[in-house]
């Protein structure tokens, strides 16, 4: 069983920050003596008051606390902007590529970014936003999203971005959970030639929030929207009159920089809290080493700022390093499947970072869409969000990288702040489909799922945990430290539990096998099955629902819903459409079930527990191996489910 491996070229390794020998040396140092290692690497960002304490972390259930650089002070926005001004005021910080191909691309220099962010910060202050206040950002992929994030960081407000694809209800829940003082939105958001009315979603959300929440609107398209005097404010107009000077506030290393909601195995999304100091050190360091970023490179991460990937690798990592980062408002297939490659060609992109779902979608359109563009500027390609199947890896390598760009398959999570397991392009021989080896300071372990025993042979398979902390680790769940401990530290004593299954091969390479909890990965986005279930049962016609994932050619996993209707309600195609629409409005388009099966009964144990294992097998069209069904209260429901299964592929 030897997989193909792709070692870095000698030429690449020679010019890279980290080659194989350096990786081994630094990795060893990082785990043998984390205090010394991070005391040194923490200096990559500017501190107002230098830290004397480095690592202070405890994974013991009941006493979990995570602090890094605790007595240091800094300002994240000053690190991402001000400190670069002496050297690169006129260098482009952000290249904004609008949805519509003909519309002008904007190059925003560090000097301009400084001015915009300061004005934005003054507008926030004028709206009464103070240090520690929460600001929800519900914006499209426009420069104002970055200005808003950095403006919050400048004054010590805590931002919480809600992906613009979430519905009014999703937005309201998040505004309420974090107790936001303001929500920042836009009029409408063009994407792929279509528009979402963010302002009307926000209006609908605010009906369920405190009437003290203010609504700051970026008039992006100029489309007509409703306006509520006294509550709604025009951000761009206020920025024009605001002062371009706003002092960057001195903040403790552990001051929360942002909250980002993510799905878990229970119904309610968790507010993942990240710090200022440790997070920035980690985001900037992984950005530099994972992508082998060099001064002057043009870096493009295609994620949305509504996800953690956008936080760390569109905004904070690149800007902390003084890089030029691309912000793309559009989608990979508009106006055609050549859009990504055209942008790469036109902007001479050096590092390109995307998700397997996008690669698979583009692969399906044929190689001619990529082959016609000049991609010679590309040096490193990245992948994130889910395991990349070898077929997609090979296509990415052959057609996009032309066999000369290392592909970094980065495994990490909203909770981890930055990459944990990833190749370093000048150091690590690649194996398609493996995230390879740990980043500096990261100690992955594989545990036996049942006993929780660490498997100490090189070859191992089980659940993936982390033995010790790293600076980018989340600090708590907003408002619920107990939930933080319960979710991540209660399953396996003394370890951080990732929720992923994993195999380690004879070379010590890690292969992520997917989630072991009730979380599914749809197009690289995490979705709790419980969230979709509770949306479905909120519909008056639905008695019960069970949701599982099934293999989907483009999305990785699709959403398969088994729905039991209320007595007397007849199944119909109209009802199916209505339920799809219902879930879209309850959560957002990404949660729409791909397949709905009418299920008069669900397989339950005698104690009433739904046997998801069986539902998963049927959804996967793998019902030959259902295992033991004798413990079911009514084994005959299984035959009905199989006979009427939706995935006959």
Site for ligand 6R9, rule CB under 6 A: 262, 307-309, 384-387, 409-414, 435, 498-500, 512, 515, 521, 524, 526
Comparing CB distances to ligand 6R9, the nearer of 327 and 516 is 516
Comparing CB distances to ligand 6R9, the nearer of 74 and 384 is 384
Q: Which residues are annotated as a binding site for Mg(2+)?
A: 537, 539, 542
Q: Which residues are annotated as a binding site for CoA?
A: 191-194, 309, 523, 584
Nearest Cα to 300, choosing from 284, 285, 318, 274?
318
**Distance in Å, CB of 525 to ligand 6R9, minimum:** 6
Nearest Cα to 438, choosing from 227, 643, 239, 286?
286
Comparing CB distances to ligand 6R9, the nearer of 484 and 582 is 484
Q: 623: which 2 tokens?
A: 């019902």
Comparing CB distances to ligand 6R9, the nearer of 188 and 262 is 262
**Distance in Å, CB of 408 to ligand 6R9, minimum:** 9
Query: Where would I find the H helices in 478-571?
Result: 481-489, 529-537
**Distance in Å, CB of 412 to ligand 6R9, minimum:** 5
Peptide bond into 216 cis (omega under 30): no
E-assigned strand segments in 443-588: 444-447, 460-466, 476-477, 496-504, 510-515, 519-522, 525-528, 542-552, 556-565
**Distance in Å, CB of 107 to ligand 6R9, minimum:** 28
**Distance in Å, CB of 31 to ligand 6R9, minimum:** 21
**Distance in Å, CB of 444 to ligand 6R9, minimum:** 13
**Distance in Å, CB of 310 to ligand 6R9, minimum:** 10
d(CA 205, CA 40) in angstroms, rounded, equals 46
Nearest Cα to 152, choosing from 127, 186, 175, 171?
127
Q: What is the dihedral sign for C-alpha 253, 110, 298, 296?
A: negative
Distances (CA, A) of 564 to 533, 547, 586, 600, 639: 11, 12, 19, 5, 16
Residue 6: strand, helix, or coil: strand
Which residue of this chain has its Cβ atom nearest to ligand 6R9 in the complex?
Answer: 414
Comparing CB distances to ligand 6R9, the nearer of 110 and 440 is 440
Strand-strand pairing, 298-301 and 351-354:
parallel
d(CA 357, CA 254) in angstroms, rounded, equals 35
**Distance in Å, CB of 433 to ligand 6R9, minimum:** 9
**Distance in Å, CB of 588 to ligand 6R9, minimum:** 14
Q: At what angle do helices 168-178 and 573-586 cross, to 10 degrees?
A: 30
The separation between CA 278 and the C-alpha centre of its own chain, rounded to angstroms, equals: 18
Q: Which residues are annotated as a binding site?
A: 191-194, 309, 385-387, 409-414, 500, 515, 523, 526, 537, 539, 542, 584
**Distance in Å, CB of 389 to ligand 6R9, minimum:** 11
Give residue 185's region: left, alpha or beta (phi > 0; psi -120 to 50).
beta
Comparing CB distances to ligand 6R9, the nearer of 524 and 588 is 524
Radius of gyration of the chain (CA): 24
Residue 218: strand, helix, or coil: strand
Nearest Cα to 259, choosing from 371, 159, 369, 116?
159
Q: Are 323 and 179 in contact (CB under 8 A)?
A: no
d(CA 224, CA 222) in angstroms, rounded, equals 6
Query: Where would I find the H helices in 499-635?
Result: 529-537, 573-586, 612-619
| Spatial strand order in the sheet of 298-301 | 106-109, 92-97, 324-328, 298-301, 351-354, 380-384, 407-410
**Distance in Å, CB of 125 to ligand 6R9, minimum:** 32
Provide the 10 A C-beta neighbour count for residue 337: 18
Query: Residues, the chain, total?
Result: 649
CB-based contacts of 578, cutoff 8 Å, min separation 6: 539
Comparing CB distances to ligand 6R9, the nearer of 117 and 587 is 587
**Distance in Å, CB of 191 to ligand 6R9, minimum:** 20
Comparing CB distances to ligand 6R9, the nearer of 346 and 620 is 620
Comparing CB distances to ligand 6R9, the nearer of 134 and 311 is 311
Comparing CB distances to ligand 6R9, the nearer of 393 and 412 is 412
Q: Which residues are annotated as a binding site for ATP?
A: 385-387, 409-414, 500, 515, 526
Comparing CB distances to ligand 6R9, the nearer of 114 and 525 is 525
Comparing CB distances to ligand 6R9, the nearer of 384 and 446 is 384
């Amino acid at each position: 069983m030897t997989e193909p491996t792709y070692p870095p070229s000698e030429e690449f390794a020679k010019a890279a920050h980290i080659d194989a020998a350096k990786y081994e040396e630094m990795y060893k140092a990082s785990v043998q003596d984390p205090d010394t290692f991070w005391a040194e690497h923490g200096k990559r960002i500017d501190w107002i008051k230098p830290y004397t304490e480095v690592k202070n972390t405890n994974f013991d259930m009941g006493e979990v606390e995570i602090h890094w650089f605790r007595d240091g002070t800094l300002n994240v926005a000053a690190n991402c902007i001000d400190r670069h001004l002496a050297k690169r005021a006129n260098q482009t910080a952000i290249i904004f590529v609008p949805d519509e191909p003909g519309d002008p691309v904007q190059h925003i220099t560090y000097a301009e970014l400084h001015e915009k962010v300061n004005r934005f910060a003054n507008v926030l202050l004028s709206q009464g936003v103070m240090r520690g206040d929460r600001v929800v950002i519900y914006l499209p992929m426009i420069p104002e999203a970055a200005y808003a994030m950095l403006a919050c960081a400048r004054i010590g407000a805590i931002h919480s971005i809600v992906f613009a694809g979430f519905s009014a209800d999703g937005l309201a829940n998040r505004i309420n959970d974090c107790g936001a003082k303001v929500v920042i939105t836009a009029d409408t958001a063009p994407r792929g030639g279509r528009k979402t009315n963010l302002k009307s979603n926000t209006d609908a959300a605010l009906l369920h929030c405190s009437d003290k929440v203010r609504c700051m609107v970026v008039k992006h398209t100029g489309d007509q929207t409703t306006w509520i005097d006294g509550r709604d404010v025009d951000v761009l107009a206020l920025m024009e009159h605001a002062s371009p000077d706003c002092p960057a506030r001195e903040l403790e290393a552990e001051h929360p920089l942002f909250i980002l909601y993510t799905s878990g195995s229970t119904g309610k999304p968790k507010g993942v809290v990240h710090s200022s100091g440790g997070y920035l050190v980690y985001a900037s360091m992984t950005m530099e080493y994972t992508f082998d970023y060099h001064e002057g490179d043009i870096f493009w991460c295609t994620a949305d700022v509504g996800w953690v990937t956008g936080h760390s690798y569109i905004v904070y990592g690149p800007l902390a390093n003084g890089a030029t980062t691309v912000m793309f408002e559009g989608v990979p297939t508009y106006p055609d499947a050549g859009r990504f490659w055209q942008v790469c060609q036109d902007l001479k992109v050096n590092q390109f970072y995307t998700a397997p779902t996008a690669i698979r979608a583009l692969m399906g359109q044929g190689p001619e869409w990529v082959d016609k563009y000049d991609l010679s500027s590309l040096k490193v390609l990245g992948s994130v969000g889910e395991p990349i199947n070898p077929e997609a890896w090979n296509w990415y390598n052959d057609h996009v990288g032309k066999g000369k760009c290392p592909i970094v398959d980065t495994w990490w999570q909203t909770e981890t702040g930055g990459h944990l397991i990833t190749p370093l392009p000048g150091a690590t021989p690649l194996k398609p489909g493996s995230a390879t080896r740990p980043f500096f300071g990261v100690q992955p372990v594989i545990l036996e799922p049942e006993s929780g025993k660490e498997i100490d042979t090189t070859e191992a398979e089980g659940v993936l945990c982390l033995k010790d902390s790293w600076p980018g680790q989340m600090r708590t769940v907003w408002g619920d430290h107990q939930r933080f401990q319960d979710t991540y530290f209660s399953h396996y004593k003394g370890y951080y539990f990732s929720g992923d299954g994993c195999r380690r091969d004879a070379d010590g390479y890690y292969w992520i096998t997917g989630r072991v909890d009730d979380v599914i990965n749809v197009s690289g986005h995490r979705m709790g099955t419980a969230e979709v279930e509770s949306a479905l049962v909120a519909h008056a016609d639905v008695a019960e629902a069970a949701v599982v994932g099934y293999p989907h050619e483009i999305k990785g996993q699709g959403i398969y819903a088994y729905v039991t209707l209320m007595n007397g309600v007849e199944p119909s195609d109209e009802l199916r459409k209505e339920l799809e629409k219902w879930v879209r409005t309850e959560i957002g388009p990404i949660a729409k079930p791909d397949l709905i099966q009418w299920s008069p009964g669900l397989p339950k144990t005698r104690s009433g527990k739904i046997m998801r294992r069986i539902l998963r097998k049927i959804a996967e069209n793998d019902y030959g191996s259902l295992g033991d069904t004798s413990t079911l209260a009514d084994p005959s429901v299984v035959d009905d489910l199989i006979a009427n299964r939706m995935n006959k592929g």
